[in-house]
Copies of this chain bind each other. A is one copy, B any other.
């Protein structure tokens, strides 16, 4: 089996992929669109991409890349704890520049503002690239924000530990494919993309009513721009699935009758990696 993931090796997505698969061939991709395209063209059997971080919110490239297509479904959700470290080559150096991926920088905003308010912050393509760069430039006064796995891989020292803004920083990843996995866990959640008809005031309220009066809980509701003009959105809804599958189907039927377009991303199980 051939699984693509958002690389490079040792990225958080790599950790999610190796947590899911013991024996698959794991291939890194340089970007989320490249990884999703490989799955669309059947160059890989499954893809693993980040979907949402508890500090930063949805990963838009992943979510938007799955909108408006029919073939790809979610077959598993993987939740990983995300801990960021401030890494240096030489512990006696005071960093004048800190390199990392924009998401990791955003996750460490409070730490950076408190302890490194005057430091130059430079965005690079990945936390792994940042760690590698710091390892390869031992004479520069630079640091990287990256994982402890990256510290081990590139022989760096941890100058400050767990610098992310919140102890409970977690990221959700999706295992995506065109056919179900052989061994499947019990279903826990359903994700839907719902596009509302234009110029229908209060339509979101009506859509939510279809769930509310059936006591169907929603664990997430989020809007994303339709990329047409400002103020037009589609909605991402997560529905926890218990023994309410029939009720959910009735609600969806009703919502279609209201003129909304529903895209099923699939019913899927959730696995959580402990810290």
Contact = CB atoms under 8 A, between A and B. Distances in A.
Given A54-B230, A125-B123, A222 B219 contact: no
Interface string A173-198: 00000000000000000000000000
Contacts of A215: 201-202
Mostly, the A contact residues are: mixed
Interface residues of A, number: 51
Report the copy number of this chain in the oligomer.
Answer: 2
Contact of A222 (B37, B218, B223): B223
B204 A219 contact: no
Interface of A: 31, 33, 37, 52-57, 60-61, 79, 102, 106, 109, 113, 121-125, 165-166, 168, 170, 172, 201-202, 204-206, 208-209, 211-212, 215, 217-225, 227-231, 233
8 contacts: A37-B113, A54-B229, A60-B106, A122-B125, A202-B211, A204-B218, A205-B209, A222-B233
